Amino acid sequence: MAMNDEDLPKLLGDCVHCGFCLPTCPTYVLWGEEMDSPRGRIHLMEQNLEGAPLSAPMVQHFDQCLGCMACVTACPSGVQYDKLIETTRAKVEREHPRSLPERAFRETIFQLFPYPRRLRALRGPLRAYQKAGLDRLVRRSGLLERLSPSLAAMERLAPPLGPSPKLPERVAARGERRATVGMLTGCVQREFFPGVNAATARVLAMEGCDVVIPKAQGCCGALSLHSGREEEARAFARRTVVAFEAVDVIVVNAAGCGSAMKEYRDLLSDDPEWAGRAEALSAKTRDLAEYLGELGPRAPRRPVPVTIAYHDACHLSHAQGIRAEPRALLAGIPELTIKEIADPEICCGSAGTYNLFQPEAAGRLGDRKAADVRATEAELLVAANPGCSMQIATALERQGVRLPVAHTAEVLDASLRGLGRAALLGRSG
């Protein structure tokens, strides 16, 4: 981000084509195609920089990248593939003419998901659709799948909807106040997983934090940023900066959102009016597990005798480098057993909007991840990103398994409030 063509040759030249990234790249693992690996895509970027046009096959290879950043973690040469793919996607958005149906579907997604009020308007009809059993009827018929695999994927991914309690603008600390924090409520998290936000606010309050939930906040811009829609992402970023400027720390419970907000320093670095303010916001953004680790535990943990499988969300583990902190939080809960999932570096296939735009590849990755989750024989899946939760739950259901799924915040909330197993295992996957 904030990167121009003059920066590209050096960043591209950092890749020595060693191949360490190959076994961690989901699309290379799926297809074994060189051009669907990070070094293959870098080769295509070099060709484009040297004058090759953004042809449809070239763009397809870029589109098929999940942006999971597993290659960044694996790379011994420090290749900044995250910056390369985001810059390339922005160029694709500017220069490549997509078909009318594709443009229409993409525009529908970006006019819906980053807008909580629009998602909220969808909740009522979607909840009625689910309660009437029409979702099962539509899936059995296969009609939507034949009409549009992307629409079918969107319909399947919708989680079961219950009541949506609203949070106040301020939640007071329990006992002596240790800190005041701002809390991002997100878009999909706010409207489809409101229980995660409620649990996050309670946990922070029980750990001695006054929690400020700015009413003026909206989308952080993560979906736009990671899809090459730079100007849209910048507009969302500026609004988020204004909403949270008065707080010293911002706690985020969705991995993709936290990753995007930590990128504001790059996204707005060329804007003299906003660069310093964006840098300040990025510096004070923390994932929930990251912040609770820094704060240290105070509230007593009560037993939760459950065996869980912990899933590493890519934008938490690879993009933010946060792996130990959630595990440490969960390990501090008495009688909780943590099972590791095989190949944790391989993406589940959610990747923001990937499971909508690339449903076939996403479905295969989801099935692979679901099989690895099942192999742990855990009673509960724990993930730190709403997209991952929907993706893996859908894949498990395809395999005939309804495994409960919870956020790290909800597991910790159950422990701090002494709710035990029932609060977590009574959930549907």
Q: pLDDT tens digits for 401-421?
A: 989 999 999 999 999 999 989
Of residues 200, 276, 189, the one with CA closest to residue 241: 276
Domains, the chain:
8-95 (1.10.1060.10), 100-157 (no CATH), 170-293 (3.40.50), 300-425 (3.40.50.11810)
More confident residue, 8 or 280: 280
Q: pLDDT tens digits for 135-167?
A: 888 888 888 888 888 888 888 888 888 777 789
CA pair distance 201, 409, nearest whole angstrom: 9
Q: pLDDT tens digits for 210-230?
A: 999 999 999 999 999 999 999
Give the per-residue pLDDT at 149. Answer: 85
Query: Which tokens is 267 given?
Result: 């996204």
How many angstroms separate the Cα of 393 from the Cα of each of 271, 306, 371, 403? 41, 18, 11, 7
Tell me the pLDDT band of 1, cut-offs 50, 70 and 90. very low
Q: pLDDT tens digits for 246-288?
A: 999 999 999 999 999 999 999 999 999 999 999 999 999 999 9
Helix (H, G, I), strand (E, B) or coil at 30: helix
The structure's pTM equals 0.91
Average of per-residue pLDDT across 62-66: 96
How many angstroms separate the Cα of 213 from the Cα of each of 116, 171, 271, 273, 373? 15, 8, 27, 25, 34
Residue that is written with structure tokens 């390369």 in the block: 84
Give the per-residue pLDDT at 429. Answer: 43
